[in-house]
Amino acid sequence: MRRWRRRHHEKNMTWTMWRPRGDVLPLLLLGGVLASLAIPGSASMTPYNRIVGGTDAVEGEWPWQASLLYTEQGKLYHLCGGSLITSRWVLTAAHCVNKGYSLDKYNVLLGALRLLDLNSNAVFYSLERIIYHSKYTGVTSGGDIAVIKLSSPVTYTKYIKPICLPSTSVTFPPGMECWVTGWGNIYTGVELPSPKTLQKVMTPLIDRATCQEMYHQANKSYTILEDMMCAGYKEGQKSFCQ
């Protein structure tokens, strides 16, 4: 764990946001997970990561929000979002944590609001272990979910708290409005401007059949599986694409 006491050293590192590929209206959510978490991108090291029509969050509003970071040649890359679920575990998408990379290349940042203007609320954690869903073989396979074990327990503060997960009996009907948060692009190919303030957006869930139809209309061959959820607007008013 590294608190921001080493702020000046860390702050001098270069931050980069992975650029998204494609322009897809619906969002693929991690199946069965409460939609008020910040959910990450897509395949390999180039995640789709977009929140359209969002507004700035405020300090402590989303205390479970995590940023999964990757370090390469002295640069910090924000790969994906995630959610703190216990004092040692963070939930994210399986495609965000490449099995071919060493754990020491990754860090989890908690308590952050502006990625380019961190303060004493922000805490870095190294990783001890990553567990992938047993069904996950690739971004189109389903089971796109992973949990990250942090190297040390989190100290809860006003700005760092775990998310409340729903029970397995909870359902998410189409039209239900859910909050989504993240540091993704604000439009296709348009990065979140400095200081990269966490964005939030409320968007309704879409049934799988409608979501699949929207993909086909966009000439996408992606199959919406049973463990996936979609959210957004056909008109493209507000959405988040992953």
- 179: nearest Cα among 40, 52, 35: 35
Q: Give the CATH number for residue 82.
A: 2.40.10.10
- pLDDT tens, position by position, for the chain (242 residues)? 443 333 333 433 444 444 333 222 233 333 323 333 333 332 233 444 555 668 899 999 999 999 999 998 888 889 999 999 999 999 999 999 988 889 999 999 999 999 999 999 999 999 999 999 999 988 788 899 999 999 999 999 999 999 999 898 998 999 999 888 999 887 777 888 899 999 998 889 999 999 888 878 776 777 889 888 888 877 665 544 44
SS3 of 168, please? Answer: coil
SS3 of 220, please? Answer: coil
How many domains is the chain partitioned into structurally? 1
Range of the domain at 146: 2-241
Neighbours of 217 (CB within 10 A): 10
- Specify the residue for token string 């990757």: 70
